[in-house]
């Protein structure tokens, strides 16, 4: 079930973010993610519009956060929910709200890059992440025009 994140979800979201960041970015030192946790708590989450996908027990399986009505700053899913549609449901919630979405993804995160291509995101630019200096792609999605 997709719903808007609530204040009581913050700790679960933060722990999911940390676990998933460590798992999906083995090419980045763990210390980077641990040191970034405070920024996610104090800066990203309060500014982002966040949706969570919950299981039948209301446990959070994944979340997506959108900044400035277009930038996906986070899309993370519990490893046990990989491949079960959680990421697609979260992406659909964002696409239902915004006609244009942008995101930055590490070029080495092949799983994420493949997912975004399946979700019809297209290449916009190559850049380097300011925090890690690793190469990233900027990807963009446009809502299809109605016929």
The model's pLDDT over 17-48, given as tens digits with 9 standing for 90+, comes to: 999 999 999 999 999 999 999 999 999 999 99
Q: Indicate the number of domains in the chain.
A: 1
**Coil, strand, or helix at residue 44?**
helix
DSSP state of 133: -
* Residue 121 lies in domain: 2-142
The CATH number of whichever domain residue 43 belongs to comes to 3.40.630.30
- Is the distance from CB of 12 to CB of 103 less than 8 angstroms? no
Task: Give the H or E element holding residue 140.
Answer: strand 135-142
Model's pTM, two decimal places? 0.93
**For 10, phi and psi rounded to 5 degrees?**
-55, -50
* Structure tokens given for 19: 């676990």
Rounded Cα distance between 8 and 37, Å, is 17
Model confidence pLDDT, tens digit, residues 107-134: 999 999 999 999 999 999 999 999 999 9
Within-domain flag for 147: no
């Amino acid at each position: 079930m997709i719903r808007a994140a609530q204040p009581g979800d913050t700790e679960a979201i933060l722990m999911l973010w940390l676990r998933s960041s460590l798992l999906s970015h083995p090419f980045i030192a763990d210390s980077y993610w641990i040191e970034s946790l405070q920024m996610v708590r104090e800066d990203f989450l309060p500014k982002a519009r966040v949706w969570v996908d919950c299981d039948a027990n209301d446990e959070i399986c994944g979340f997506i956060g959108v900044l400035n009505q277009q930038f996906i700053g986070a899309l993370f899913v519990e490893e046990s929910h990989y491949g079960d549609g959680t990421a697609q449901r979260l992406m659909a919630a964002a696409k239902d709200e915004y006609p244009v979405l942008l995101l930055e993804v590490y070029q080495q995160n092949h799983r994420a890059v493949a997912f975004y291509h399946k979700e019809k995101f297209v290449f916009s630019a190559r850049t380097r992440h300011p925090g890690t200096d690793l190469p990233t792609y900027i990807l963009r999605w446009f809502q299809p025009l109605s016929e």
